[in-house]
Amino acid sequence: MLGKRLELERPALQELPLRRTTDYEEAIVTVTSTSGFTLKKVFYSVPSRLIGHRLRVRLYDAFSAPRR
């Protein structure tokens, strides 16, 4: 049954892109003296050794987060 459905859909399928599309939002943040940063109204804590550093972070939405 699956084979028949696949054969019906195959003509409508397109080739995959050469590269994967971006499924996250990227932002540059600065770590504050309280050892964290705020992104989209959410406070994230990081190791204190990063205070004053600028970080590039990737923010995934709940539906596109990478699976581990």
Q: Is the pLDDT of residue 65 over 70?
A: no
Q: Which residue has the higher pLDDT, 65 or 7?
A: 7
Each residue of 24-50: pLDDT tens digit? 899 999 999 999 999 999 999 999 999
Alpha-carbon distances, residue 26 vs 13, 22, 40 (angstroms): 30, 10, 12
Alpha-carbon distances, residue 34 vs 17, 19, 31, 43 (angstroms): 43, 39, 8, 10
Q: Is the pLDDT of residue 64 over 60?
A: no
Q: Given this model, what pLDDT does residue 52 score? A: 98
Q: Given this model, what pLDDT does residue 34 score? A: 97
Q: Given this model, what pLDDT does residue 21 score? A: 78
3-state helix, strand, coil in the chain (%, to 5): 20, 30, 45
